[in-house]
Structure 1
Amino acid sequence: MINDNRQYSPATQRNREPILEVLLRILPPQGNILEVSSGTGEHAIFFAPALSLRHWIPSDPNPIAGESIEAWRNDSPSDNLHSPLNINAEDSIWEVEKQAIKIDAIVNINMIHIAPWSACLGLMAGAKRILSTGGILYLYGPYKQGGKHTAPSNLSFDESLQSQNPQWGVRNLEDVIKVAEQEGLKLQEIVSMPANNLSVIFQKQKL
């Protein structure tokens, strides 16, 4: 029997098409796209073939996730889908920097609320370091706006997250934007997405 390391996330099946629609519009027409916190790898195998002029580079610090990404990659190969890198957003230097890989855009889906706030800070600092001027940072997930949840389901989700780990939780969008701007990332667009989520797009400014 073949050992199948593929992990499954039901949310991916629901959100991958709306996310792809935004990515096709806002990502550069070619170049290297780094996915930070790729999780199961299901997004990577769906996005890569549709973004064929770009190179999709998944990453995750969790070894189980890394095995899942590689298993999905073997199951659904795409010439432009790379092997996963071990990247923790909180680290002061990322693997792409060590390998001198030029990154034209960063995609981060459903991480900021299922991680300590320090992961958001690290993500923004990393984007500042590795993106060239004009580079794109794409975020997807639920957010509070004006300090308030946008739907009862998001409130319940937030309570569930904090019961699992007090450092987790749905973030204030304004706080995320402020941190991004401090790192030279200018808000370009906020797109309402299904299930009370948002796509939030930033662009690296000239320093």
Structure 2
Amino acid sequence: MKRQAPAAARNRQPILDVLQPRLPREGLVLEIASGTGEHIVHYAAARPELTFQPSDPDADARASIDDWVRTLGLDNVRPAQEIDVTRAVWPVERADAVLCCNMIHIAPWEAAVGLIAGAARLLPPRGLFFLYGPYRRGGRHTAPSNEAFDADLKRRNSAWGVRDLETVIEQACAQGFSAPDIIDMPANNLSLLFNRL
């Protein structure tokens, strides 16, 4: 039942290193598009004082997440929820931080718009909104590998693709977020850390 993704095993600690000083001291951390569940259980094990809410629209992914939680015996992770970010109402009504890794390029742009709007609805002032993944900067790919990845995504689905960093920031600022801190990550990815104004 548990799924494993080699990329998740590689990047979960670098992501946690970025998140650690930014996560709230207490409260609920919502992860959108939790995938295999390997990220959220890693964060939850490191921050037992926080409650974590995983989510994914895919039933098999939710089963994997819940299996990881059971196997590791984590009591600060809630059962995975089905969340469609394009809907105006989510089953979670508030959160102290919203995290999303590697989703907005493997989904239509409407999903990114819905994600940002949903995070804005849920978060309190100064609440953390975290995005991780590859981005174009100034209209250009940051590495040949990202350009090849983008072409592959668009071959698979014309609505997918590596997003322009500036467009994502503009969308977030329009929904009431601060300009982000931008941190370079391994494998030509970026961490974007927004705060709700």
TM range (shorter): over 0.9
Q: What aligned pairs does 1:55-134 form with structure 2 within 5 A after superposition?
A: 55-97=51-93, 102-134=94-126
Q: Which portions of structure 1, spanning 4 or more consecutive aligned residues, are displaced by more than 3 angstroms? A: none
The two structures have a TM-score, normalised by structure 1, of 0.93
Structure 1 partner of 2:139: 147
Greater per-residue strand proportion: 1
- 1: distance between equivalents of 2:73 and 2:84? 25
What's the offset of the Cα at 1:29?
1.3
Report the AA paired with residue 18 of structure 2.
Answer: V
Task: Tell me the residue number matched to 1:20.
Answer: 16
Asked if the contact 1:45–1:77 (Cα under 8 Å) also holds between the matched residues in 2, the reply is: no
- Separation in 2 of the partners of 1:123 and 1:89? 5
Q: How much has 1:188 moved relative to structure 2?
A: 3.2
Quote the Cα distance in structure 2 between the aligned partners of 1:77 and 1:158.
38
Query: Aligned letter for 1:181?
Result: C
| Structure 1 residue runs without a partner (length 5+) | none
Is residue 145–residue 174 contact of structure 1 (8 Å, CA) maintained in 2?
Answer: yes
Q: Distance in 1 between matches of 2:5 and 2:30?
A: 20
Q: 1:18-42: CA deviations, max 9, x gaps?
A: 0000110111111100000000111
Given residue 47 of structure 1, which amino acid in structure 2 is its aligned partner?
Y
Query: 1:184 is paired with a residue of what secondary structure?
Result: coil
Are 1:108 and 1:140, in contact at CA under 8 Å, matched by a contact in 2?
Answer: yes
Equivalences, count:
197
CA positional deviation for 1:87 = 0.7
Cα distance in structure 2, aligned partners of 1:73 and 1:135? 25
Equivalent residue, structure 1, for 2:148: 156
- Asked whether the equivalents of residues 58 and 83 of structure 1 are also in contact (C-alpha less than 8 Å), the reply is yes
CA distance in 2, matches of 1:113, 1:178: 16
Aligned equivalents of 1:76, 1:119: Cα separation in 2:
31
- Per the alignment, residue 194 of structure 2 pairs with 202
- Contiguous gaps of at least 5 residues in structure 2: none
